[in-house]
Amino acid sequence: MSFPLPPPMRRALDLAAEAAAAGEVPVGAVVTRAGTIVGEGRNGMREGHDPTAHAEIVALRAASTFLGTSRLDDCTLWVSLEPCAMCAGAIALARIEALRFAAEDPKGGAVVNGPRLFGQPTCHHRPEVLGGIGEEEAAAMLRDFFKERR
C-alpha cells in the first residue's frame, strides 16, 4: 500500500527534479515551521559556481533570512537525499528540530551512513531523524540522472 507523501517532501522531490532539469544532481530541500514552508532550495553548485550550494544549505539560508534568525530550533528540514557532512554540520549549527529525508546516501551521506555526524560526541545538537520518506522516487531520480551521464 502506498501513502501520499507529506506536502513538504513532495515539494523537495519537485525541487530535485528541477535541479536535474538544470543539469544539477537532483536534490531538493524544504524547511517548514508549524507546517508552513519558510525556506526551500535545490542543488545549484554548477550554476552558481559555488561548492556550498547544496539544496540543504540553500534552504537553510532562505529560512534563516525569512525568519530573521540563524536559530531554526522549531523547524523541520525535508530533503530528498541523506545530507552530506557539510550539510549535517549546518543542520546541527542551525539547531533544526527534525530532519526528514527520502533516500539514503551510502557513499556521501553523513547522518545514517559514513561519519554519522549527529552521533559524534562533538556534535552539540542532534535533530530527530527519520529517513525513507519518498525513498523510491528519490532513488529512481538519482539513478536516472547518473545513468544518463555515464
DSSP state, 118?
G
What phi and psi, each to the nearest 5 degrees, are found at residue 33?
-135, 125
Residue that is written with C-alpha cell 525513498 in the block = 135
Of 40, 56, 82, 137, which is the active-site residue?
56
Active site residue 56: yes
- List residues forming the annotated binding site for Zn(2+): 54, 84, 87
What residue numbers does the annotated binding site cover?
54, 84, 87
Q: What single string gives the DSSP state of each residue in 96-136?
A: -SEEEEEE--TTT-SSSSTT-GGGSTT-----EEEE-TTHH
What is the set of active-site residues? 56
